[in-house]
Every structure is written in structure tokens, then in C-alpha cells.
Amino acid sequence: MGQNGDYILQMRDIDMFFPGVKALKHAQFNLKRGEIHSLMGENGAGKSTLVKVLTGVYHKTNGTVIFDGNQIEPESPLQSQQIGISTVYQEVNLCANLTVAENIYIGREPRGKWGQIDWATMNANAKKLLKEELGLDLDVDRVLNFYPVAIQQMIAIARAIDTKCKILILDEPTSSLSDRETERLFAIMRKLKAQGIAIIFISHFLEQIYTICDRITVLRDGEYVGEYDIPQLERIQLISKMMGKEVNENQIESNVDKSIPKDENIVETEHVVVDGKVKDLTMNIKKGEVVGFAGLLGSGRTEIAEMIFGITPPNSGEIKVDGVSVKIKSPMDQMMNRIAFCPEDRKVAGIIGDLSVRENVILAMQAKAGMFKHMPMSQQRALADKYIELLRIKVSDREQLIKNLSGGNQQKVIIARWLATKPNLLILDEPTRGIDVGTKSEIEALAVRLAKEEGMSVVFISGEMGEMVRTCSRVMIIRDHEKITELNGDEISTAHIMQAIAGDYHGSN
Ligand SMILES: Nc1ncnc2c1ncn2[C@@H]1O[C@H](COP(=O)(O)OP(=O)(O)OP(=O)(O)O)[C@@H](O)[C@H]1O
Ligand SMILES: [Mg+2]
């Protein structure tokens, strides 16, 4: 095989312009056969756009794409799939109300003699495919929605495998997966790689990139920075290349404010029970502290946050805000009590795609003020600009529709929305998922700064232990919907948190 024969894909000089935005500028991408290749870059760097140019979702302004030796002009996702390029997005691109089998064979259903769909064969094939390729035993006759997102993603991958793809694209597939599910996905990726399939893997989890990938291409502001073999690129160098500036190790170190917070409680709960969601919970959140809720996915961290915010009021027990016992009926009550909750899934969290960044930022404030008290436009603009700057939200201007922002930048707008309400307590549920490493450490630092300088209390929910260690002065360990123990100050370390979750460490109190 000649030199170019080693490559299944070469994208050269790719330009992609949206109105007012140059998303890609002479971007390059070279993918070898049978490699797992990561596309890295900050939020808005152009990763998803490059992938969408490749799959025909967008039509590039300029440049050439050579796939398997031939120049191609992908017209549509369907066409690119037919030639062997399959994509699995974070937002599963399947049909929720069709069955598992239908989702796998949609558009290429096995047919009987008279052209009618051969359901029996289709179901049997689907079952066999899932079992043999992915080790999954599913009821393929169930609607897709019956299964959790992690499984839905596997189904999307099964479909990709079955269409005999040569390139499989995974754009942030792991951001909502548990560690075990991620492991399973990696096992499948290794198997596909062994079959010679090239995989493009996009993720903001550095740990995962270094575990599973062979090479990395870095994009910055839509431009190609370089491509590197993983063993030759230290993490810190990678971050520098993504950000375009030197980073030193200390900058990603702990931000924790070690000074002991005041002994005033902003929220207290006593023996609070929410049926099926929160078990007998007694705890407090102090003024001006960053406190973490650590636990595995599904441990009940989010349910506790939802209880505090009034989404699921307690069945028994007492909640106090600022020392006063409160009866909460809805989130609006807690918003009035100056509590804000930034939920984990930005789709559910309700970005309203057809509203501008400015409108999305002021939404929660507006709801709080009452829909009829209109905020002066000059104030709205000033607010939006303030948060665009503070959180480094990448926009062409504040009136840009939020649906046209990159995934990570949408996430930042949601955080801005809640910050704008100037809460006394801000609950952040997985705030840095899907956010690039540079901004991530900035959001972590921001949480600590808000606590220290403005006396805001912050609840930080994260599955990433390192993040807790860097931000929290106290960590509550949640397991089976129950608070097991708390870790304080210097006892907070990744090892201790993991041991505590496993039940092998009980903290000093
Ligand atoms: N449909 C669109 N219309 C206008 N601008 C767009 C559109 N899609 C993307 N953009 C812009 O193109 C740039 C690159 O976005 P892209 O989604 O490719 O980033 P990304 O690297 O995938 O980021 P993230 O890590 O946040 O997912 C961003 O500035 C974004 O606002
Ligand atoms: Mg993206």
C-alpha cells in the first residue's frame, strides 16, 4: 500500500462558513485505516462541524474530501452512510417510537416475496446482531424509548456496524454514560478497530482519550493545529495546543478555599424523605461554601438536588431556608428563596433553540420577575454581554440563536441563565460535562470565587472525582439515595471519595 493508501480519509483545506461565522478555515483531517482518532478542541472549535461536513449534513464552502481513494461530495447523511460513513451523535439520532429492530433496519428492511416487510426475519436478524456484535440481549420488539440512553447508543452502533461502515464517528457518545457503560463501549470500539474500521472519537474527557485513542488532531478556532501520536503528546501540551497558550500544571490545580465557612446555614434538611427518591436525609449547606454531592450515576445525587429545588417536595421531614422552616410546593417557591438549579441534561434543561443567547440568559430572571414585568432592553443586553465574557461563550453576537452554538457553549448559556438570578444557593448538576478542559477549570474556579467573594453557596454535583477535589471544601457521599458520610477539608481526595462510595472509608466525622 502506498503512503496515501494508509489513509481511509483525507480532508484538505476545508472551509465552512455560516452567516457571520467561519466555523472551519482550511481545516485538515487525516484518518488512517483501523485507527481510533480523536478530534480535540475547545467548545466551538469546529469538531462537530467538520464531522457534519463529512457526513453531508452541511455542505462545505471549499476544500476536498478523499475517501477510500476517491474524491467525494457527501450530499446527505443517508448518502454518506451508503458509502460507509456512519455517525452516532450524543443526541441519539434514532426514532424513539419505533422498535429496536425497526431502528436498526429502517430504510433497508428485509422484504418478503411480495415486497412486504419480513418482520420475523428482521427481528431475528436484529436480535442476532446485538447479541453477536455487542453482547446485548434485548427485546428487539420493544420501542426504543423503553431502553436507557446508553443502550440506545449501542443500538445506533449496531446499526452502523450492520451497514458495513468503514468509518464510525462517535461525537461525545460518553457524556451521559456511566463508567461501566463507557468500558463496554470501549471494548466494542477495540473490536471494531481490530476489524479495520477507523473510528473518530470526540470527547472532552482527557482520561478517555488517552485510554482509547491512537492519534489526536487538534482544531482551534476552526483551524488545523496539528496531528499527534498519543504517546508523543503530554496532556498539558495538548491543553496548550487547544487553548493556544502555554498552560502550566498549577493552573489546573486545586482552587479550593480552605478557610472554614461561617456557621450560618443557607439550607438545612431534617429527616427529609421523598418516597422512592430520597432516604431520611439530614444535612446542611453553609453560607459561602462549595459542597459536593459525590456518588455513582443513579445514586440519588440529582434527586436530592431536585428535592432542595422543590421539583419533588418531601413526603415528610423539614426543610429550612435561612433558618426558617419552609413549605415548598414548586421550584418557583425556591427561586423566590434565591435558590437556583442548573440541571444536568441541557436538552431537558430547556435551551429554547429559537431564542437568542440574550433571551436564553434572561429567561430565569424574567420568570422570577413575572412575565409581565419587562426588563429594559439595555439591561438585557448588558447582562448577556457580561456573561458571554465571564464564561467565554463563543458567539458571533448576543442575538445569535442558541441552537446554532456548539454543544458546550449552549451548556454555558444555561449556567449563565442561573447565575443571572443572583442566587444565594446555586446547585450545579454536572456543569462541566461536554465543556472543554480550559473552560472547565474556569467554571470550577468561578464556583469557588463566587463562594468566597460573594458568599454564594454552591452545590457541585459531578461524577468526576478530580473536579470535586479541586472545588469542594466538603463532600457528601451519596449511595442508594442516602447520605452515607461526609468528607471534610484535607481528607477530600480522589481515593477517599472512591473508597467512601464503595463503603470502605467513613470519614473522620
Ligand atoms: N448551524 C449553525 N449556524 C451558525 N453557526 C454555527 C452552526 N453550527 C455551528 N456553528 C458555529 O460554528 C462554530 C463551531 O461549532 P461546532 O459545533 O463545530 O463546535 P465543537 O467544536 O463541536 O464544540 P463543542 O465542544 O462545544 O461541541 C461555533 O462557533 C458555532 O457557533
Ligand atoms: Mg460539538
> Do 358 and 460 have their domain in common?
no
Strand-strand pairing, 316-321 and 265-274 = antiparallel
pLDDT digit string (tens) for 392-442?
888 999 999 988 888 888 888 988 998 999 999 999 988 887 788 878 888
* Residue 10 shares a structural domain with residue 86: yes
- Asked whether residue 176 carries a pLDDT value surpassing 90, the answer given is no
Residue 504 pLDDT > 90: no
Q: Beta strand pairing status for 70-71 and 21-32?
A: unpaired
Both 77 and 149 in one domain: the answer is yes
More confident of the two residues 180 and 65: 65
Instruction: Look at residue 334 and tell me if it is in a domain.
Output: yes
**Where is the domain boundary, 230, 251, 272?**
251
Question: Atom 29, ligand 1: which residue's CA is nearest?
Answer: 44
For residue 345, what is its C-alpha cell? Answer: 441534561
CATH number at residue 202: 3.40.50.300
* pLDDT of 225 higher than 90: yes
For ligand 1, whether the C-beta of 23 sits within 6 Å is yes
Min mean pLDDT across 93-97, 132-136, 291-295, 449-453 is at 93-97
* Any ligand 1 atom below 6 A from CB of 47: yes
- Are residues 9 and 74 part of one domain? yes
Q: How far apart are CA 406 and CA 434, in angstroms?
A: 10
Backbone angles phi and psi of 341, in degrees to 5 = -135, 120
48 C-alpha vs ligand 2 centroid, how far in Å? 4
Last residue of a domain, one of 422, 455, 476: 422
CB-based burial, 36-60: b 16+ in 10 Å, e otherwise: bbbbbbbbbbbbbbbbbbbbbebeb
- Tens of pLDDT, residue by residue over 306-354, are 999 999 999 999 999 999 999 988 898 999 999 999 887 655 556 677 8
Let me know whether 410 and 466 are in one domain.
no
Q: Same domain, yes or no, for 281 and 414? A: no
Residue 494 has pLDDT above 90, yes or no: no
Question: Domain boundary at 218, 251, 284, which?
Answer: 251
Residues 231 and 270 in one domain: no
3 state DSSP class of 351? coil
Residue 479 beta carbon below 6 angstroms from any ligand 1 atom:
no
Over range 95-120, report the average pLDDT.
90
- pLDDT by residue (tens digit) across 196-224? 999 999 998 888 999 999 999 999 999 99
Rounded Cα distance between 299 and 501, Å, is: 10
Q: Which position has the grid cell 480519509?
A: 9
On whether both 334 and 364 belong to a single domain, the answer is: no
Ligand 1 atom showing the smallest separation from residue 46 Cα: 18
State the alpha helices, DSSP H only, in 205-300.
Answer: 206-212, 235-243
What's the chain's average pLDDT?
88
> Are residues 301 and 392 both part of a single domain?
no
Quote the CA–CA distance of 231 and 233 in Å, as a whole number. 6
Task: Name the percent of the chain lying above pLDDT 90.
Answer: 52
Report, as an integer, the average pLDDT of 29-40: 97
Ligand located closest to 437 CA: 1
DSSP 409: H
Q: Verify that 431 and 363 share a domain, yes or no.
A: no
Q: pLDDT class for 263, splitting at 50, 70, 90?
A: confident
More confident residue, 431 or 14: 14
- Nearest atom of ligand 1 to the alpha carbon of 41: 21
pLDDT over 90 (residue 227): yes
Cell of 164: 458495513
CA distance 507 to 292: 15
Distance (angstroms) between ligand 2 centre and the Cα of 137 equals: 31
The proportion of the chain whose per-residue pLDDT surpasses 70, expressed as a percent, equals 93
Asked, for residue 16, whether it belongs to a domain, the answer is yes
Check residue 432 and give its pLDDT: 82
- Summarised one tens digit per residue, pLDDT across range 57-92 is 999 889 999 999 999 998 998 899 889 999 887 666
Could you tell me which residue, 19 or 251, shows the higher pLDDT? 19
Q: What is the pLDDT of residue 26?
A: 97
Beta bridge partners of 274: 278
Pocket residue to mutate for ligand 1, from 16, 17, 21, 59, most atoms within 8 A of Cβ: 21
Q: Is the pLDDT of residue 370 over 90?
A: no
Q: Whose C-alpha lies nearest to ligand 1, atom 24?
A: 43
The three three-digit cell numbers of residue 479, written as one number: 449511595
Beta carbons of 211 and 34 less than 8 angstroms apart: no
Is the residue at 505 inside a domain?
Answer: yes
Residue 129 is assigned to a structural domain of this protein: no
Could you identify the atom of ligand 1 that is nearest to the CA of residue 58? 1
Asked whether the predicted pLDDT for residue 390 surpasses 90, the reply is: no
Q: Which domain holds residue 475?
A: 264-338+423-509
Residues 25 and 157 in one domain: yes
> Nearest to residue 213, comparing CAs of 230, 226, 228?
230
Query: Rounded CA gap, 39 and 216, in Å?
Result: 6
Spacing, Cα 371 to ligand 2 middle (Å): 33
Q: Is 21 in the pocket of ligand 1 (CB under 6 A)?
A: yes
Q: Which residue has the higher pLDDT, 375 or 29?
A: 29
Domain count, the chain: 3
405 lines ligand 1 (CB under 6 A): yes
What is the pLDDT, as a whole number, of residue 71? 95
Q: CA 240, 245, 251, 253: dihedral to nearest 10 degrees?
A: -10
Q: For residue 248, what pLDDT is reported?
A: 59
pLDDT of res. 321: 95
Q: Which ligand is nearest to the CA of 435?
A: 1
Going by alpha carbons, the residue nearest to atom 31 of ligand 1 is 405
Ligand 1 neighbourhood includes 45 CB (under 6 angstroms): yes
Question: What residue's CA is closest to ligand 1, atom 27?
Answer: 407
330 and 391 both lie in a single domain:
no
Rounded to whole angstroms, the Cα distance separating 473 from 97 reads 45
Cβ of 346 closer than 6 Å to ligand 1, yes or no, is no
Tell me the CA–centroid distance for residue 280 and ligand 2, in Å. 40
Candidates 149, 36, 147, 44; CA nearest to 391 is 44
